[in-house]
Amino acid sequence: MGQWHDTCNVIRCQARASRREIMLFDPFDSHDQHLVCADRLANICADLAVRCRRPPTSTRNRPAAPISTWRNVENECCALRNFQLRPEAASVIIGTASSQLPVCPRKTRSIPRQTSPPTMFRSLVQSMSRGLHTTATALQASAAPTTPAAAAASAAVSGATQRAGSIAIKKGMTAIWDPWGVRVPVTLLQLDSVYVTQVKTPETDGYYGVQVGAGLAKPHRAGKSVVAHCAKASAPPLKEFAEFKVTPDALLPAGHQLTAAHYQVGQFIDVRGVTVGKGFQGVMKRWGFKGQPATHGVSVTHRSLGSTGQCQDPGRVFKGKKMAGHMGAKYRTTLNLQIVKIDHDNNVLYVKGGVPGHDNAFITIRDAVKQYNKTSGPVPTADKAKTGAELLEKQGSDPYLRYESA
């Protein structure tokens, strides 16, 4: 019983700590209800433990709790989704509920019959914490000014900005030479008619996000719903759509067109596309098997996979065994590709390296997640259009000096 009271005290302490952080960026104290809601949840959990008086026996002998109490806990967890809660409180609740929470009555509509009380309460807390992971850094970003210059300055301090991505068309591969004279293989990605088609806000969707569309479509071939959806955002009918979660300082208005100026030379990006389909392939091409020997008794099975299992025990083939089958045509993401050149006149990005997908395929682009806060474009996007071409400047020392020293 003492563990439940300790949990209640921890919830209150974490709530007050998070409230102090909120007060740093919210001087009007509009989140005062957060502390009240957390206290109500703590009191209900303590009342639940006191009423049930769980004896130190097995799970089967635990008494059932009143249905109304369980519904109060569920309602308070749902109400807490509108406020900020530190993730430490969620972990404490989950750890304590796994061993202390009594049996839930089965005759209730809000809780499934097959769901055990710890599983039900854990799912409630996890769903609650997913919407409440905004810390003081994110709050500072949400309170940033809306002007592009002020938002960029605030994002540089907080490091919490998440910009909108875009959709590009893969035009193929070529090669360019950098200022040192080194040949660099690049992939050309063209931003063809990229528009913001929908803006997601907490008031309408529960989070901040931007839906982006690309590729002009003929109105008579696009569906009526697509034409109406794009017309609502003052955009032409588009072929491909993608959604990106953003921070409040990186929101873009509906109907805004994204160009190559959304990125900058030297920036690292992540690209995602569907790989080239290879059809049904054998194990040597699909998985890199070496195959069977060319001689010594092997006949007509030089490229076969060989044995696929053991003996009578286990008497089956394990799931996930590498065998012949369909190869390619899957979504794959390539991380940390650098933009070495930007052609603003044609809205083309020259990306170093290969990109998954065939020519003329749609590719999703986002800022590199593993290069977080190191290189990024303008926030929320470029203030004005650019012309001409930009090339990556000289970096480091001359790579050919090592041959001269040798």
Higher pLDDT, 58 or 142: 142
pLDDT at position 385 is 85
pLDDT at position 399 is 83
Place of tokens 């690292």: 268
CATH class in words for 163-277+329-405: mainly beta
pLDDT at position 73 is 59
Query: What's the rounded mean pLDDT across residues 371-377?
Result: 72
Query: What's the rounded mean pLDDT across residues 326-347?
Result: 96
Higher pLDDT, 138 or 160: 160
Query: What's the rounded mean pLDDT across residues 176-197?
Result: 94
pLDDT surpassing 60 at residue 158: no
Closest CA to 258 of 198, 353, 193: 193
Statement: the pTM of the whole predicted model exceeds 0.75: no
| Average model confidence (pLDDT) across the chain | 76
pLDDT surpassing 60 at residue 156: no
In this structure, of 38-42, 105-109, 118-122, 307-311, the range with the lowest mean pLDDT score is 105-109
pLDDT at position 115 is 47
pLDDT surpassing 80 at residue 339: yes
Higher pLDDT, 383 or 107: 383
> Using one digit for the tens of pLDDT, what is the confidence trace for 76-125?
555 554 444 445 455 555 554 444 444 444 444 444 444 444 555 555 55
pLDDT at position 307 is 92
pLDDT surpassing 50 at residue 28: no
pLDDT surpassing 50 at residue 136: no
In this structure, of 13-22, 206-215, 277-286, the range with the lowest mean pLDDT score is 13-22
Confidence of residue 134 (pLDDT cuts 50, 70, 90): very low
Give the highest mean pLDDT range of 137-146, 176-185, 359-368, 372-381.
Answer: 359-368
Q: 58-63 — which CB contacts under 8 Å span 24+ positions?
A: 59/103, 62/102, 62/103, 63/102, 63/103
Q: Encoding tokens for residue 198?
A: 């929908």
Cα atoms found within 13 Å of the Cα of residue 272, Cβ hemisphere only: 14
Cα atoms found within 13 Å of the Cα of residue 10, Cβ hemisphere only: 18
Extract the runs of DSSP E, i.e. beta strands, from 201-354. 209-216, 238-245, 257-258, 268-274, 279-281, 325-327, 331-343, 348-352
Where do the structural domains in the chain lie, given as residue ranges? 2-133, 163-277+329-405
Residue 142 three-state SS: helix
In this structure, of 63-72, 313-322, 354-363, the range with the lowest mean pLDDT score is 63-72
Confidence of residue 127 (pLDDT cuts 50, 70, 90): low
Parallel, antiparallel, or unpaired for β 166-177 and 209-216? Answer: unpaired
Distance CA 129, CA 121 (A): 12
pLDDT surpassing 50 at residue 222: yes
Of the chain, the percentage scoring pLDDT greater than 70 comes to 59
CA-to-CA dists, residue 23 to 16, 29, 30, 139, angstroms: 10, 6, 9, 10
pLDDT at position 79 is 54
